[in-house]
Amino acid sequence: MDKFKEYKLNIWEKEKKLIREYLEKIQEYITQNSIDSELYNDIEEMIFEKLSLEIDFDQLKIKKILKEVWEPEVIFSDYVENKKINPKKQNTSQSQNIFYEQLIAHHWERDNEGAILLWVSQVISKKTGVPVWGIRILFILFVFVFWLSIWFYILIWLILPVKWVVYDGLSLWGYLQRQIYLEVKDLIYNIHHTLISFIKLTFKMLGFSIKFAAKNIFPIVRFIFFGVVSFCFASVLFWFLVVGAFYFSGFSIWNMEFFSVLPPYFLWGILFGVISVSIFTVWAFLYAVKKQILNGYIFAWAGVCFLIALFLWISTGFNLTEKYFWKTELSQETSLDMSAMTSESIVFDTSNILIENMFWPIGRISSIRVETATGNIMTAQIIRKIYGNESISNALKSQFNDLVLTQEENKIILWTQNNKIFKNKVPFSIFESELILTVPQNKKYFIEGNYAYFINVHLAEKYGNYQNYIYSDCRLREIYYSQEEWKFVCDASEYELNEAKLQLLENDLIKNFEKISPLLHQDEYKREYYNNYDIRSDWNFENIYLLDETTLATTFWDMSLQIDAQVNFENTASWIIFSNFEIKDVDVDYMFHPKYYKDISSIQKFIPQEKYEKFLKE
């Protein structure tokens, strides 16, 4: 029967001719060297089984398969050589070759087709019935046990014969030589073939991933990205329209007066900006929804409009810089004789020098400086720093009137004849005002009408340790001259003083708690809690308050205890001294254990008896 029909091989006559010529060469060599004809049948079966594994054929693939089988001189080299050396050996071959012949007889053979390394896992899988992937996992796991699987793999690799290879007449040494040669060749071929297959599979999976992403993920990403872009453009467009609407309508509120100084071409910048942003908004929206791209000429027009708008806005910036880069100062001064004022406390009213109808930060006094007078003459001076060119400065100077000081019993009023400056009379400008008061030392002063900070007036230093815990810049407070400090100061309220005192006690108690308390954590069980002003402690202080002038009460806890305690204190000029720490009550949690603490004698009486006895047994 024709082997090509038997194996159902659809091969062209040119390829069949190559196979027949090869088989004829094998047959001729067997005849010439008196080799057993059964070997020819084995080689023929091997060739056709290899061919049956292929799907399509060409001459290159046929030659490759035949090359793997080898030339007859190579196949039968050992057989012929052994026959020449010892012709009688043919009679004793069965007894000498029983080792690998038994393996072949029981089909313990390696077939290199489809192998990743040397087909060892495939052989074991067929013989044991375990899936090949399970065998490979076991090999990988046993690598970590003295490299056991690697030695086992090499051993099987050397022992198992290769299918389709003739071993007749080989000695044990010749068999091992043949095995090493075959296995090195197969290993190189299989690693190369596996790498090529892996690379092909990787590129195939990558291509599949790209196609999948392009079909399913990229549209979502495109929609989200360009949807966000169109929303941003629409937001900018809305801002343009709102600003333009305010400007064109003539609407003016305090925080819109700045637009009155903008040059006319700023409006054209808004117009061209609106056009460009509108086009970009439409493009981004259409591309997000329908993946449509606008005409190139429309894009070019949007880009030109944006560049024009950018140029006009930059020009506006240069125009504003030219107007408001320069700074000039305007000073006004007035004085009053206070000899007739007998009251020790004076109210100084500055509410009548506020400038109305201007952007609110520039119409007020920015800061107040208080200095001492040599006699009873009070002097008030206002220094205004005006930001603007010469024309703006001159226009503002013409509107500022002379200052006047008047007296009403224990009240002094600072005022001007006209404190209304309208933007239709003078251009918009920014300026800072500083009030300098020179007052007699023997009076106390309360400055009202301005919530401005004092440059050189501070809280009195007589509060000692508490001073750092009282926040005060003396605004809206009565100020006076301190002979001890040689400067003007103010006092704290009783409430502020009490709060500062308590804060100082709290901080000192927390910082020095390990020196005060008899109950301390073991070093390995210390915790870290954040208390007032982020002071770290291994106790969390929940409440600290004054019982009286010398006693402080506190509640503190950790993960297993909550404790109420009292401690006495003495506030000296330099530091606070704590004494007589006494624990008043203890709440023991279920997580409590004596091992957390260095000494529990101070709280032992608060621990329930049954729980304490349990700890003693442990």
Distance CA 134, CA 12 (A): 41
Regarding whether 515 and 483 lie in a shared domain, the answer is: no
> Two tokens at 241?
């329209």
Q: For the chain (length 618 residues), average pLDDT per consecutive 10?
A: 70 77 79 71 77 73 74 66 51 49 66 56 70 71 62 67 65 72 72 78 84 77 78 79 69 55 80 87 82 81 89 87 82 88 88 60 73 89 85 78 84 78 63 88 87 86 81 86 90 87 87 89 86 82 87 90 91 81 89 86 83 65
Separation in Å, CA 96 to CA 90, 110, 311, 400, 568: 10, 22, 99, 127, 105
Specify the pLDDT at position 427. 66
What are the backbone dihedrals phi and psi of residue 255, each rounded to the nearest 5 degrees, phi first? -85, 10
Residue 153 lies in a domain: no
Q: Are residues 341 and 486 in the same domain?
A: yes
Give the model's pLDDT for residue 357: 46
Are 333 and 286 in contact by the 8 Å Cβ rule? The answer is no
Considering the domain boundaries, does residue 341 fall inside one? yes
Residue 523 CB burial class (10 angstroms; 0-12, 13-18, ≥19): exposed
Closest listed residue to residue 383, CA positions, set 422, 465, 429, 327: 327
- In this structure, the answer to whether residues 429 and 341 fall within a common structural domain is yes
Assess whether 430 and 341 both reside in one domain: yes
502 and 463 share one domain: no
Environment class of residue 486 by beta-carbon count within 10 Å: exposed (0-12), middle (13-18) or buried (19+)? exposed
Choose among 581, 511, 517, 525: nearest CA to 553. 581
Q: Report yes or no on 425 lying in a domain.
A: yes
Torsion (CA) 300, 303, 308, 312 in degrees, nearest 10: 170
Q: What is the DSSP letter of 480?
A: E
Task: Return the sign of the alpha-carbon dihedral for residues 362, 367, 371, 377.
Answer: positive
Q: Total domain count for the chain?
A: 3
Nearest to 187, CA basis, from 115, 137, 103: 115
Question: What is the Cα–Cα distance from 595 to 89, expressed in whole angstroms?
Answer: 87
CA 244 – CA 275 distance, rounded (Å): 13
For residue 159, being part of any structural domain is answered with: no
- Structural domain ending residue among the three candidates 439, 457, 491: 491
Same domain, 480 and 331: yes
Backbone angles phi, psi at 411, to 5 degrees: -125, 135
Within this chain, do residues 393 and 436 fall inside the same structural domain, yes or no? Answer: yes
Tell me the pairing of strands 487-490 and 458-459: parallel
- Burial (Cβ within 10 Å: 0-12, 13-18, ≥19) of residue 51: buried
Per the structure, the complete domain to which residue 508 belongs is given by 496-617
- The answer to the question of residue 87 being in a domain is no
Enter the DSSP assignment of 467: G
User: Do residue 463 and residue 609 come from a single domain?
Assistant: no
Q: Could you say which of 491, 519, 539 is where a domain stops?
A: 491
* Residue 21 counted as domain residue: yes
Given 3-state DSSP classes, what are the helix, strand and coil percentages for the chain, each rounded to the nearest 5? 50, 20, 30
Angle at 406 between CA 401 and CA 407, to 5 degrees: 170
**Number of Cβ within a 10 Å radius of residue 540:** 16
281 vs 120: CA distance, rounded Å: 65
Residue 483: exposure state from Cβ atoms within 10 A (0-12, 13-18, ≥19): exposed
- Is this prediction's pTM over 0.85? no
What pLDDT does residue 97 have?
47
276 in any annotated domain = no
| Single residue among 75, 104, 121 that ends a domain in this structure | 75
Q: How far apart are CA 586 and CA 318, in angstroms?
A: 73
Residue 78 is encoded by which pair of tokens? 């050992």
Instruction: Output the pLDDT for position 89.
Output: 43
Instruction: In whole angstroms, give the CA distance from residue 404 to residue 365.
Output: 16
Q: What is the pLDDT of residue 566?
A: 93
In whole angstroms, give the CA distance from residue 162 to residue 328.
102
Look up tokens 């509640």; give the residue. Answer: 555
- CA–CA separation, 553 and 494 (whole Å): 21
**Do 365 and 421 belong to one domain?**
yes
**469 and 506 within one domain:** no
Please compute Rg for the chain using Cα positions.
51
Whether residue 424 sits in one domain with residue 517: no
Exposed, middle or buried, 172 (CB in 10 Å: 0-12/13-18/19+)? exposed
Domain shared by 385 and 403, yes or no: yes
Q: Is residue 250 part of a domain?
A: no
The confidence score (pLDDT) of residue 77 equals: 65
Residue reference for tokens 């801002």: 239
Torsion sign, CA atoms 256, 258, 264, 265: negative
Give burial (CB, 10 Å; 0-12/13-18/19+) of 393. buried
